[in-house]
């Protein structure tokens, strides 16, 4: 398992289009990937799950992956939530 805590810096947070892009990128990896906010843990490959977290700019989340490409997956998804809009 590989995980990383990150502060979301996207201006609109992880909603709508950014969430769809995040899920699409997560789906490229074979690892099981989760997004954790507080006590909630959702599948990063599920648009409904990711959007249900209501992640706003400035929110701290953890991205966690288990599998063959776990580190690459987490690092790529961290890049996405830290992009400047």
Phi-psi region of 13 (alpha: psi -120 to 50; beta: other; left: phi over 0): left
Active site residue 15: yes
CB 42 within 8 A of CB 35: yes
Catalytic one among 9, 15, 25, 71? 15
User: Do the Cβ atoms of 47 and 20 come closer than 8 Å?
Assistant: yes
Whole-number Å distance between alpha carbons of 32 and 82: 21
Active-site residues: which are they? Answer: 15
């Amino acid at each position: 398992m590989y995980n990383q805590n990150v502060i979301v810096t996207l201006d609109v947070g992880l909603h709508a289009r950014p969430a769809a892009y995040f899920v699409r990128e997560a789906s490229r990896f074979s690892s099981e990937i989760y997004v954790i906010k507080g006590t909630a843990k959702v599948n990063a490959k599920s648009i409904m799950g990711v959007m249900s977290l209501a992640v706003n700019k400035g929110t701290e989340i953890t991205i966690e992956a288990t599998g063959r490409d776990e580190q690459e997956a987490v690092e790529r998804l961290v890049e996405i939530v830290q992009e400047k809009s």
